[in-house]
Amino acid sequence: MTQLYQEIIYRPLANALVVLYQTVAGGDLGVAIILLTVLVRLVLYPVFKKSIEHNLRMQELQPKLKELKNQHKGDKEKEVAATLELFREHKTNPFTLMFFTFAQLPILIALYQLFSGGLRGDIAPLLYPGVPHLTEFSATLFGLINLHEPNTMVVVLVAAAQFVQAALATPKTADQKTRRAAYRNAALVAVVIGVFFVAYRIPSAVGLYLIASALFSVAQQQAAHRTTSHGKLA
């Protein structure tokens, strides 16, 4: 399984990074990481779009789910049966989003491993024939930020980008003064604080990937929302 992961996911990503680094990025590792992140997000877009569509569908079903809960209050068995029937009627599975999330994990893990540790060693054994060999990267962004070390500006940008992404992805309530809205806002703050402290412990290469991924995700979310907005439930 490890060898399969290495050959199908990790090695192709390493080669793509080297090619980008030596061509389009002009020897700037930071630019190469951003370009590779965009490339991966484009490849994953069909999966991402499906997850957005499913999330929108679930949001649209919330009033009906609340209605069923009130209708069968006190009878959990009937409530579950009615809920499952509603999901079948609208061709929705609550576990679909989990599947889409796990489908992306191997690539995300490979990118994290590549940016956090793979760039420090000799990457030549991973390169395909025809790809110019590279023993080490000049690990900077525009020659200003050492991507092997944490950087305060990168940490702040990681937290800000993750906050924007989480805020847009989290469903808003009609009344922002409700307890649910308070929980939502508290969760967003917790996300920012958690990401902030984690980012202080990781190389800036990983932070740069997180920034690029979050910002591209925001753009993809907006595009997916626009293309699926016509599919509202009756």
Average per-residue pLDDT for the chain? 76
- Using alpha carbons, select from 114, 110, 184, 199 the residue that is nearest to residue 153: 199
Regarding predicted confidence, which is higher, 179 or 201? 201
For residue 225, the model assigns a pLDDT of 65
For residue 96, the model assigns a pLDDT of 63
Regarding predicted confidence, which is higher, 234 or 155? 155
For residue 174, the model assigns a pLDDT of 46
7-20 tens-digit pLDDT: 888 888 888 888 89
184-224 tens-digit pLDDT: 667 767 766 777 777 777 788 888 888 888 888 788 777 76
81-137 tens-digit pLDDT: 887 777 777 777 666 666 666 766 788 788 778 877 667 666 777 888 888 877 667
pLDDT above 90: percentage of residues in the chain: 0
For residue 35, the model assigns a pLDDT of 92
CB 55 within 8 A of CB 225: no
Lowest mean pLDDT among 44-48, 54-58, 61-65, 169-173: 169-173
Range 50-79 average pLDDT: 75
